[in-house]
Amino acid sequence: MFLRTYGGVAALLAVTSVSADPLSAPSLSSTLQPNDNPFAIDAGPLGKVYVSGQLTGIALWQNHVVDAPDTGNSRSLADVSNAQVEIQTIEGPLQFYIQAGSYVLPSLGTAYLKSSKTVDRLYGDVPVGYLKAVISPEISVMAGSLPTMIGAESTFTFQNINIQRGLLWNQEPAISRGVQVNYSGGKTNAALSLNDGFYSRKYNWVTGSFSYAFDAANTLSVIGGANVSSNSKSSAATPTAQNNSQIYNVIFTHTDGALTLTPYLQYTRVDKDAKAGIDRAAQTYGAAFLAKYSFSSHWSIGARAEYLDSNGGGCGADEDCSPTNLLYGAGSNAWSLTATPTYQDGRFFVRGELAYVRAEEATSGSTFGDSGTQHDQVRVLAEAGVLF
């Protein structure tokens, strides 16, 4: 569809390739470097319209496979991890951003969902798209389907130092529909958003972020979000408990030449809510440490260690109660280790990944293996492709 439409636009607009700096969206806080010469179309009154994208494939092997029917999850598999195109403008008082295509969102400790099912069950063929009004050099307003400001990891594989997202990411919204006001001035950045949280179509979430750069090497960010009313919706993109939660992050980033360190803390809470069908309150406490080191212009490695503990949510002897499960059963905890060596040459990259997850104090039947009784899982992955 895009290629056919693009061909017609090219004929009308006399498309040319224009040199530019790397685009700021989609953000890549990763071992992968974006294309520093993105394609641009001179679109007359619209100005320059930039086109970028990703075409990547993934292979995965895992033990203790989670029994998850109709997901495509298996002991070994291959898939298209990204076949996406971004179209955007970055100049003028009114700008737009559209990200469309196929994708997967692999995450630790959960069943793999193949790309053919991910698009239908999560965020559709256009996961991100918004209009942006630039009010002043410091203030802008965005409206549409927006990437979350919560957490230290982004949504798509190519954006991150690891192929898979982590345990803490599983508690966070990934994409929300709504309106967001941004401020950027000197060492300070801030944002405030009214949105639908975990893609629920009910605009009852308020999220905000504040970051301060002490210097070029050290930045501290404080982020929070919460729902302000009950919502009983439940789907793959909208887990009921998390969508009725509040969540807070403290994230510190230190850069020293080829080394980047990002430790962060996370707290979430779900209150008892009869209207949403939540019988017991529960909370999670999480800590993660992300590190990236570049050995050369071609070779780098990303690593992550994390721990997540859930408390509350149990029903005891109350037979009329449903436990609030935020991890592997009420009161469970888990930890993980991930390492991802990466090679990139221009627009081409290839990377491998070794990841280990272990669950403790879990409810029988809720962890790994056919019967959900195995307490750990090993995954080996590879991803390769081009960033254009």
Structure tokens at 36: 């520093």
Which pLDDT value is given to residue 328?
98
Contact 355, 317 (CB under 8 A): no
DSSP track, 292-333: EEESSSSEEEEEEEEEEEEEE---TT-TT-----SSSSTT-E
3-state secondary structure of 60: strand
3-state secondary structure of 161: coil
Buried-state track 308-339, b at ≥16 Cβ within 10 A, e below 16: bbbbbbbeeeeeeeebbbbbbbbbbbbbbebb
Q: What stretches of the chain adopt beta strand conformation (E)?
A: 39-42, 48-62, 76-88, 94-103, 128-134, 139-147, 175-185, 188-195, 205-215, 218-227, 245-256, 259-270, 282-294, 299-312, 333-345, 348-360, 376-387
Of 387, 374, 152, the closest CA to residue 252 belongs to 152
Structure tokens at 48: 């320059």
Which pLDDT value is given to residue 2?
34
Of the candidate CATH numbers 2.40.160.10, 3.90.1150.10, 1.10.287.980, 2.30.40.10, the domain formed by 2-387 belongs to 2.40.160.10
Cα–Cα dist 104/79, whole Å: 9
Contact 79, 114 (CB under 8 A): yes
Cα–Cα dist 191/297, whole Å: 33
Phi, psi values for residue 78, rounded to 5°: -135, 150
How confident is the prediction along the chain (388 residues), in pLDDT tens digits per residue? 333 333 443 333 444 444 446 788 899 877 999 988 889 999 888 889 999 999 999 999 999 999 898 999 999 999 999 999 999 999 999 999 999 999 999 999 999 999 999 999 999 999 999 999 999 999 999 999 999 999 999 999 999 999 999 999 999 999 999 999 999 999 999 999 999 999 999 999 999 999 999 999 999 999 999 999 999 999 999 999 999 999 999 999 999 999 999 999 999 999 999 999 999 999 999 999 999 999 999 999 999 999 999 999 999 989 899 999 999 999 999 999 999 999 999 999 999 999 999 999 999 999 999 999 999 999 999 999 999 9
Which pLDDT value is given to residue 45?
86
Cα–Cα dist 351/33, whole Å: 13
Contact 373, 351 (CB under 8 A): no
Which pLDDT value is given to residue 383?
99
Which pLDDT value is given to residue 16?
47
How many CB atoms are closer than 10 A to CB 75?
10
Domain coordinates of the chain in residue numbers? 2-387
Cα–Cα dist 152/221, whole Å: 10
Of 364, 362, 357, the closest CA to residue 111 belongs to 357
Which pLDDT value is given to residue 29?
76
Structure tokens at 122: 């999560």
In the chain, the amino acid numbered 148 is T
Which stretches within the chain are classed as H helix? 2-13, 115-121, 240-243
pTM above 0.95, yes or no: no
Of 65, 35, 58, the closest CA to residue 371 belongs to 65
Contact 261, 254 (CB under 8 A): yes
Contact 356, 376 (CB under 8 A): yes
Which pLDDT value is given to residue 24?
85
